């Protein structure tokens, strides 16, 4: 599947302009969301993770509505949220997948981009209206400036910290959102009784550090949710958060222990662009 041309992106901007209204402070998802979460378009690999990711509760906390323009940052090859958001938004809203940079030298990025394109092409009924943009810190427009109602990012902040591009990433989100728009951030929650590693090598990031990044970009902190909290996560593994499922980086070493812990303890944070 081809990435959209600049002309297609311009058409999207025009369509967004027709549908855009000021973002509501009070938002609620409808029952159609649960129907899609339970729907046949979802892969078994993604569905099995729902017990840890709580998709309905997360999207309702962020206030995603069917008539909005939603940008997801780096959905990857698997498209966990794409399977829900793309069909949810296709008739009344817009779903933009800001995937990896097309010219990236990273083999992992190229693999994710190719896998994601194949996923979209395989189901045009659900994914035919998805617009794919590029994300790489602030080097590309993830959406037309001031057009997005919601920008969502799931467990990416530690990577931007490692690359020294966190400030630029949050700047890109701020630029894409309209006034009143929501930035939703999920991240492996770091321990607040320990100093934050600036490179986040363990994969864990303190929520107050994330709030600092967002506020420095101009966002206002609007609240947090404990829906993806996991008190069993001790956050002290020799290979970082990737010891836990679904990665199991230590393979068979203590696998039963890590399986019993489950996926990581996660902070779910909401910010608003004034």
Instruction: Encode the chain in three state secondary structure.
Output: CCCCCHHHHHHHHHHHHHHCCCCCCCCCCCCHHHHHHCCCCCCHHHHCCHHHHCHHHHHHHHCCCCCCEEEEECCCCCCCCHHHHHHHHCCCCEEEEEEECCCCCCHHHHHHHHHHHHHHHHCHHHHCCCEEEEECCCCCCCCCCCCEEEEEEECCHHHHHHHCCHHHHHHHHHHHEEEEEEEEEEEEECCCCCCCCCCCCCCCECHHHHHHHHHHHCCEEEEEECCCCCCCCCCCCCCHHHHCCCCCCCCCCCHHHHHHHCCCCEEEEEEECC
Mean pLDDT score of the chain: 92
Q: What was the pLDDT predicted at 13?
A: 52
- pTM of the predicted protein model: 0.90
Per-residue pLDDT tens over the stretch 149-166 = 999 999 999 999 999 999
CATH class of 6-231+261-272: alpha beta
Q: Which pLDDT tens digit goes with each residue over 6-57? A: 444 555 555 545 444 333 333 444 678 999 999 999 999 999 999 999 999 9
Q: What is the pLDDT of residue 12?
A: 57
Is 60 exceeded by the pLDDT of residue 237? yes
């Amino acid at each position: 599947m081809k990435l959209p041309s600049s002309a297609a992106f311009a058409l999207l901007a025009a369509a967004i302009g027709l549908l855009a209204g000021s973002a509501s402070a009070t938002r609620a998802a409808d029952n159609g969301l649960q129907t899609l979460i339970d729907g046949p378009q979802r892969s078994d690999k993604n569905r099995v993770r729902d017990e840890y990711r709580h998709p309905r509760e997360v999207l309702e906390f962020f206030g995603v509505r069917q008539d909005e323009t939603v940008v997801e940052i780096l959905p990857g090859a698997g498209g966990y949220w794409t399977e829900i958001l793309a069909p949810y938004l296709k008739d009344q809203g817009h779903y933009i997948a800001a995937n990896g940079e097309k010219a990236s030298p990273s083999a992992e990025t190229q693999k994710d981009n190719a896998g994601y394109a194949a996923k979209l092409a395989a189901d045009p009924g659900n994914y035919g209206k998805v617009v794919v943009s590029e994300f790489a810190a602030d080097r590309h427009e993830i959406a037309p400036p001031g057009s997005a109602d919601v920008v969502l990012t799931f467990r990416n902040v530690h990577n931007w910290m490692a690359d020294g591009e966190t400030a630029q990433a949050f700047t890109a989100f701020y630029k894409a959102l309209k006034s009143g728009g929501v930035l939703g951030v999920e991240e492996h929650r770091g321990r607040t009784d320990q100093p934050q590693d600036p490179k986040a090598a363990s994969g864990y990031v303190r929520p107050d550090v994330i709030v600092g990044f967002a506020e420095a970009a101009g966002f206002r902190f609007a609240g947090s949710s404990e829906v993806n909290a996991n008190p069993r996560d001790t956050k002290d593994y020799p290979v970082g958060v990737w010891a836990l499922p679904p990665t199991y980086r230590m393979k068979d070493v203590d696998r039963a222990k890590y399986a019993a812990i489950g996926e990581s303890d996660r902070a779910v944070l909401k910010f608003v662009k004034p």
